[in-house]
């Protein structure tokens, strides 16, 4: 369950013992039940998942069951800010078009009476689903609960029954678990010893950790002697996710698979940073220890992130029908709370992504699920052409506010690359060297949501540097000129992309959908998602360009663009 930015400190008593309870809610109690039915909705997306109105955050318990994809998610049925949280529920046959059902889990027993927060689904023996989720009890302690379908023969899983033994896991004076930092159980995996294992995110002071529990029957859980993994200085680990990936194969595997051909990924959503970080490493199943190839260490920002923009509280699941692992994530707004209330909604989900281990073994690759391509229409293809320094070429023939664009560049003249004297945070580098700042090789890329006269635009681009005699690729998403409305957060995002540009084309794919820009660089080795709210470049007033603001030319080896049809959501 994601938390927010105001620190509260309280003390609650359990059996006469005081337990520290910390929280980081940004609570708008007077706004939790306010919503708007505004008909002017230039920022509502056409093919990203979002409910018709109100607040949405974390994806919960995604799974495939009897041919249907199930998505549960944190939802406020009464307003456009966080509060009144239930598990809303939608189903799909293709991860693109979604049918809403009634909420699956909502406060109804003491162990969740103050909220039903995030959790995960596990398919038990006989493919019977079970959900573990965090509930907020009458003392506002975070506890873990179990729910299971009332009717397993119903492919829609419309009704869920809560265990009478809830809560299954709870903070006590004996276990000294932080009562406000104990949440978001993972999908469980089955060990060779016949015991299920599950992780729950927590922290002790500033040490973030994934607490490990084991169970034979999925009801009675025993805490392991040590966390699966922990790291000092990282703060609360929200929405942990732990799963295997195959060496040298894009195929996914079931969460319980282990072996010589498998690496493991531990993803944590860092509450202090509001970003999703992942570690690749080795899982010793006998000792229940995860050892990352490279840990958090002294520099959190040196650890890979799923996405270098707006992307949080993500969750994967194994799609057994297509042997792939699917990643879902929450993309929150960059607009102000008053603007969210005015438009009557807040939050969307990113396009589901297939995720696998890159052939180098060093990082993960993400790519929009192939089903999204069914929405493509009216293709536009350019022949190979040189984009000279200063060129700005409009991409005509597509709906620029609702599009999918793939472009590849060939770069040479590496001697023209700007020298990077010392290593810098790529986000800061992108902020200092936006799309208006010329260099030898770059910036070149796309201008999206561009207004006539370019008073507004968002730029997604590459810039090539020379650092310690090697070529370095910087990818940026620059929102600084995205809107004339200065109440929006217009932070610029950036990351370095591990691409050998001497032997590889430099590719960029960008999904554009009214107020969201999802970009995939280096064939999915780097992802940046941004939220933008132009005042001029909306709907049919938006324009789309390829540009090169560097002094050296680059070759466009491929440009394909499509208008995107509206999904049924």
| Beta-bridge mates of residue 521 | 508, 526
Whole-angstrom CA distances from 248 to 277, 363, 365 are 22, 12, 12
Residues 6+ away with beta carbon under 8 Å from 422: none
Alpha carbons 566 and 391: distance in angstroms, whole number:
32
Please give the Cα distance from 25 to 10 (Å, whole number): 13
Active site residues: 58, 137
Q: Residue for token digits 């610029």?
A: 492
Burial 404-433 (b: 16+ CB within 10 A, else e): bbebbbebeeeebbbeeeeebebbebbbeb
Q: How far apart are CA 141 and CA 178, in angstroms?
A: 9
Determine how many CB atoms are found less than 10 A away from the CB of residue 156.
Answer: 15
- What SS3 class is residue 60? strand
Report in angstroms the alpha-carbon separations of 234 from 2, 63, 245, 519. 15, 29, 25, 27
**Tokens 């040189």, located at residue:** 386
Strand bridging mode 128-136 / 142-149: antiparallel
Q: What CA–CA distance (Å, rounded) separates 240 from 132?
A: 13
Integer Cα distance of 57 and 348 in angstroms: 7
| Six token digits for residue 331 | 């993309």
Burial class (CB in 10 A: 0-12, 13-18, 19+), 540: exposed
C-beta pairs of 207-214 under 8 Å, 24+ apart in sequence: 207/231, 207/232, 207/233, 207/234, 208/234, 208/235, 208/236, 208/237, 208/268, 208/270, 209/237, 210/186, 210/237, 210/240, 210/242, 210/266, 210/268, 211/177, 211/182, 212/288, 213/169
Encoded tokens for 7 = 């620190």
DSSP state string for 208-253: EEEEEEEESSSSS-EE-SS-SEEETT---EEEEEEEEEETT-----
Identify whether the C-beta of residue 54 lies closer than 8 Å to the C-beta of residue 76: yes
Q: DSSP strand E in 442-553: where? A: 444-450, 458-467, 470-478, 493-497, 506-513, 516-521, 526-531, 543-548
Exposed/middle/buried for residue 376 (C-beta within 10 Å: 0-12, 13-18, 19+): middle
Look at phi and psi of residue 127 and say left if phi exceeds 0, alpha if psi is from -120 to 50, else beta. Answer: left
Residue 92, both tokens: 């799909």
Counting other chains too, the contacts that 100-103 makes at CB distance below 8 Å and 24 or more residues apart are 100/51, 101/156, 101/158, 102/158, 103/75, 103/77
């Amino acid at each position: 369950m994601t938390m927010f930015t105001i620190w509260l400190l309280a003390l609650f008593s359990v059996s006469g013992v005081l337990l520290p309870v910390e929280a980081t809610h940004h609570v708008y109690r007077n706004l939790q039940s306010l919503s708007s039915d505004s008909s002017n909705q230039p920022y509502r997306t056409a093919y990203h998942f979002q409910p018709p109105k109100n607040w949405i955050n974390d994806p919960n318990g995604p799974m495939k069951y009897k041919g249907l994809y199930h998505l549960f998610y944190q939802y406020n049925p009464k307003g456009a800010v966080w509060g009144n949280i239930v598990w809303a529920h939608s189903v799909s046959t293709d991860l693109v078009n979604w049918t809403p059902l009634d909420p699956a889990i909502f406060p109804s027993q003491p162990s969740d009476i103050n909220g039903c927060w995030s959790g995960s689904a596990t398919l038990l023996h006989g493919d019977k689903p079970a959900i573990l989720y965090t509930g907020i009890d009458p003392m506002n302690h975070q506890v873990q609960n179990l729910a299971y379908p009332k009717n397993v023969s119903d492919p829609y899983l419309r009704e869920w029954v809560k265990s009478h033994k809830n809560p299954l896991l709870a903070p006590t004076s004996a276990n000294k678990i932080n009562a406000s930092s104990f949440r978001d159980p993972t999908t469980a995996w089955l060990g060779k010893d016949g015991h299920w294992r599950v992780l729950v995110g927590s922290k002790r002071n500033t040490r973030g950790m994934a607490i490990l529990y084991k169970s034979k029957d999925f009801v009675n859980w025993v805490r392991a002697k040590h966390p699966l993994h922990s790291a000092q200085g990282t703060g609360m680990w929200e929405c942990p996710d732990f799963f295997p990936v195959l060496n040298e194969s894009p195929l996914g595997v079931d969460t319980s698979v282990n072996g010589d051909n498998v690496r493991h990924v531990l993803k944590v959503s860092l509450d202090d940073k509001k970003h999703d970080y992942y570690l690749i490493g080795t899982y010793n199943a006998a000792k229940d220890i995860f050892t990352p190839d490279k840990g958090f260490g002294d520099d959190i920002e040196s650890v890979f992130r799923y996405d270098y923009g707006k992307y949080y509280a993500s969750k994967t699941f194994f799609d057994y029908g297509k042997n792939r692992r699917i990643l879902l994530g929450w993309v929150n707004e960059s607009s102000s709370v008053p603007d969210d209330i005015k438009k009557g909604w807040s939050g969307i989900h990113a396009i589901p992504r297939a995720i696998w281990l890159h052939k180098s073994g060093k990082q993960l690759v993400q790519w929009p699920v192939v089903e999204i391509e069914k929405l493509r229409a009216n293709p536009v293809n350019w022949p190979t052409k040189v984009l000279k320094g200063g060129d700005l070429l409009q991409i005509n023939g597509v709906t620029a506010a609702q599009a999918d664009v793939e472009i590849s560049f060939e770069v040479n003249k590496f001697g023209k690359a700007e020298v990077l004297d010392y290593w810098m945070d790529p986000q800061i580098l992108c902020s200092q060297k936006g799309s208006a700042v010329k260099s030898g090789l770059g910036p070149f890329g796309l201008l999206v949501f561009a207004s006539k006269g370019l008073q507004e635009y968002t730029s997604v681009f590459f810039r090539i540097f020379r650092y310690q005699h090697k070529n370095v690729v910087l990818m940026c998403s620059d929102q600084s000129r995205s809107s004339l409305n200065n109440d929006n957060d217009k932070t610029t995002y950036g990351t370095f992309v591990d691409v050998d540009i001497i032997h590889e084309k430099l590719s960029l794919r960008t999904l554009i959908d009214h107020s969201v820009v999802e970009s995939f660089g280096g064939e999915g080795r780097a992802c940046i998602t941004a939220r933008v709210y132009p005042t001029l470049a909306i709907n049919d007033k938006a324009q789309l360009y390829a540009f090169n603001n560097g002094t050296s030319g680059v070759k466009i080896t491929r440009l394909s663009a499509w208008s995107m049809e509206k999904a049924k959501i």
